[in-house]
Chains A and B, each alone.
Chain A
Amino acid sequence: MSEAEAEERASVVDPDDERMIINMGPQHPSTHGVLRVTMELQGETVLRSKPVIGYLHTGMEKTAEDLTYLQGPTNVTRMDYASPLFTELTFSLAVEALLEIEIPDRATWIRMLMCELNRMSSHLLFLATNGMDLGAVGMMIYGWREREEVLRFFEKVTGLRMNHNYIRPGGVAADLPDGWREDVQSILKVLPERLEQFDVLMTGQPIWRERTQGIGVITTEEALALGATGPILRSTGYAWDLRRAMPYLAYDEVDFDIVVGTYGDTFDRYAIRLNEIRESMRIVEQCLELIPEGPYRAEDRKVTPPPRARIDESMEALIHHFKIFTEGFKVPPGEVYTAVESPRGELGCYLVSDGGPKPQRMHIRAPSFVNLQTLPHMMHGGLLADAIAVISSIDPIMGEVDR
């Protein structure tokens, strides 16, 4: 910079201007991964802010174009690692829509049971991290403890605590193991009591309310304009839930309520998630009663592998098995968009097939990615300390944001 330029710059600086730009993250414990937020501050008030993302981008949509439809769920399950079953579900629904196959009732109900349990574990993780972010460190341990109960059940069913690859095109990977009812019942038995403890620890507690009420307010119009869905939209009092509005699986056969807020603030978003755990428990209870017997995946041998025993006695079964695992199954050309209600909002999958065994284009509409756009809006005019509360209440999963 030349001297003349420097002088010119110095003359435009207003000595009374106390605004400054600071950078939060990407390595910050309250940013839930690698979110960076650039904020313009006036004293302690946040004026403008901009989320900077991409630190976790691993090109999963490109990877998906190189994996067969059977391998697809192993890839997409790693996007939203707090609720992996939902991404598997939306991908599988898209593939099934293009294949035009029906899946057995039992598979549908197993999917619903597992997804609702996953919604519980995801919201419990939110309660844990949300509590930790706002200083209720004890809550972190409790939330994680309860989540572990659910993950233990997932491990028993799918073999893995996370990244299950359980819901696959054509059904699910395996039937529920022996004694699954008792396991689910024991989760349903301990949880209500623990949720009431959380109410005592947080919901009714003055410090917690002081910290969250009236913070990060957003209106219905703003949320819809920004494409926000899930608890953020519902916190504004707008009862939009894909499970009710556009039912998939068997959600039209179970009873549940949509939890909505009133003020669209951080407290409402917290309370919605806490109460959605209760609603999910209601759905799980009904699943226990209503789940039918039968096959757990489609009997279409071009899509799902044959049972192990059949391979020894049938040449056709051997051929089908070999073809599915080497070449993969072919999906008719076309394009489709499917959406499910994940714990974070509308989780969609846009799939284009060219008739081959691998997708030509696979796009995941990640709710966290879109919901993050509400962040500058919610933080505007608030205090820097409240920025943490607002980021936490969006509940972004960076694996899903960056994909």
Chain B
Amino acid sequence: MTEPPASLDEETESGEEEMPDDDVERLHGAAVTVTNGQTVLHTDKAEYHDLIEALNDDDYGVCVDLCGADYLGNDTRSLPATVPAERFELVVNLLDVKASRRMRVRVQLPEVAPTVATITDIHPGAEAMEREANDMFGIEFEGHPDPTPILLPDDWQGHPLRKDFSMGRIPVQFKAVDGR
């Protein structure tokens, strides 16, 4: 595993007290990895909301991006040993505008009922992005103020960015042609 940045060490130690000793660097109880120079936290749906809140107190005050990802059929994903892999992931990119640094949070969500708490109470700007993730992956956000489709039509069936949603399924209607 790659070494996390030195600045994390202090906070990591406090997190390790309550966590089992398993050689994984932790921040607020979530496993830390560094890929391509970017710090990533791994968590699950139960810890997610508290983690975002704790990071908000650490000055990661802007939720720049929130999106889903579907790992169906992808065996190349690398996760810390302590994080059980699930089919869906919710990826949240946070920004600290005071210290110009970024943090990414990857939340493992199960295939059946991928439901997670909303973070719109902490970051109101996540509202539209959560609606989009709901449209595209069927990830439901508990407590979201307006859980309606945002990019898809209201009567749309299915979640297009899931890997088992095939492309080109809708037949094109030609009005001028008889028999269609």
Contacts and interface: CB of A to CB of B under 8 A. Distances in A.
A350 B151 contact: no
B151 A224 contact: no
Interface string B86-121: 000001010001001010100000000000000000
Given A54-B152, A350-B91, A228 B125 contact: yes
Given A61-B161, A350-B91, A373-B127, A335 B35 contact: yes
B24 interface: no
Given A337-B102, A365-B64, A97 B127 contact: no
Interface string A373-400: 1000000000000000000000000000
A225 B69 contact: no
Pick from B78, B100, B123, B125 the residue with the most CB of A within 10 Å: B125
A53 B151 contact: yes
Contacts of A354: 74-77
Interface string A233-254: 0000010100001100000000
B36 A224 contact: no
A388 B90 CA distance: 36
Interface in B24-40: 35-36, 38, 40
Contact of B62 (A98, A227, A352, A353): A227
A361 B70 contact: yes
B61 interface: yes
B125 A334 contact: no
A336 B36 contact: yes
A226 B125 contact: yes
Secondary structure dominating the interface of A: mixed
Given A333-B77, A337-B93, A337-B104, A373 B64 contact: no
Contacts of B126: 227
Given A62-B167, A226-B125, A227-B62, A361 B151 contact: no
Contact of B78 (A333, A348, A373): A333
A45 interface: no
Contacts of A403: 151
Contact of A98 (B36, B124, B132, B151): B36
Contacts of A363: 65, 67, 69, 91
Contacts of B104: 337
Contacts of A335: 35, 40, 69, 91
A339 interface: yes
A228 B63 CA distance: 10
Contacts of A334: 35-36, 78
A81 interface: no
B43 to A, nearest CB: 15
Contacts of A62: 160-161, 167
Interface in A350-372: 350, 352-355, 360-361, 363, 365, 369-370, 372
Shortest beta-carbon contacts, A-B, top 4: A227-B125, A333-B76, A365-B65, A54-B151
15 contacts: A53-B150, A54-B149, A57-B152, A59-B160, A61-B161, A100-B36, A225-B124, A225-B125, A226-B125, A227-B64, A337-B65, A348-B64, A352-B74, A361-B69, A369-B129
Given A226-B125, A333-B78, A373-B128, 15 more contacts: A57-B152, A97-B36, A224-B97, A228-B125, A240-B97, A245-B100, A333-B76, A334-B78, A335-B91, A337-B38, A350-B65, A353-B76, A360-B69, A369-B128, A373-B124
Interface of B: 35-36, 38, 40, 61-65, 67, 69-71, 74-78, 91, 93, 97, 100, 102, 104, 123-129, 132, 136, 149-153, 160-161, 167
